[in-house]
Amino acid sequence: MGCVGLVGLKSVLLYVLGQLNLNEQEPPYLPQLNKYLRCYRCLLETKELGCLLGSDICLAPHGSSCMTLFIKNNSGSDIMVSDCRPKEQMSDCSYTRTSPVLGFWIFSRCCFRNFCNNPQNRALYIS
């Protein structure tokens, strides 16, 4: 990927990360854990290298979802961003659109089971 491609990828990542709610949620007391959906969080991931930035777990309140954004370009590269998605933003759960950077497009998918968006489970809900 050339310099222009890296600048474009950086622009897409900054755009996508600006769309996510990355506020840390304080973990609840242990007896309340069943009230939360546990999701895989990674701010920068590739299929080839795995999670490169921010591997973590996030907790989403009941009614929310786990989400993975896929950023693709014409050369077939896949970049992924995984996080919790609050129920107020569920309209973002299934969309495909072009990015502001030429040659890239973004699609997202949500799921509703613990760790359903981690790399091992992701294939079960993405068609």
What CATH number corresponds to the domain at position 49? 2.10.60.10
| pLDDT for 33 | 58
Q: What are the DSSP calls for 32-89, one per residue? A: GGGGEEEEEEEEEEETTTEEEE--EEEEEETT-EEEEEEEEETT--EEEEEEEE-GGG
The 10s digit of each residue's pLDDT in 44-67 is 999 889 999 989 999 999 899 999
Count how many domains the chain has. 1
Domain that holds residue 13: 3-19+36-124
Residues with Cβ < 8 Å from 7, sequence gap 6 or more?
none
Q: Does residue 24 fall inside a structural domain?
A: no
Structure tokens at 5: 């491609």
* Domain presence at residue 63: yes
- Copy the structure tokens of residue 110: 């949500």
Amino acid (one-letter) located at 12: V
Judge whether 53 lies within some domain: yes
Q: Is the pLDDT of residue 22 over 80?
A: no
Is residue 30 in some structural domain?
A: no
Alpha-carbon separation of residue 6 from 10, 46, 77, 104, 117 (angstroms): 6, 14, 12, 12, 26
Give domain status of residue 29, yes or no.
no
Within-domain flag for 93:
yes
pLDDT digits (tens, 9 = 90+) for 68-114: 999 998 887 789 999 999 988 888 888 888 888 888 899 899 999 99
Is 10 among the domain residues? yes
Give, rounded to a whole angstrom, the gap between the first and last alpha carbons of the chain.
27
The answer to whether residue 61 is domain-embedded is yes
- Tell me, yes or no, if the pTM score tops 0.85: no
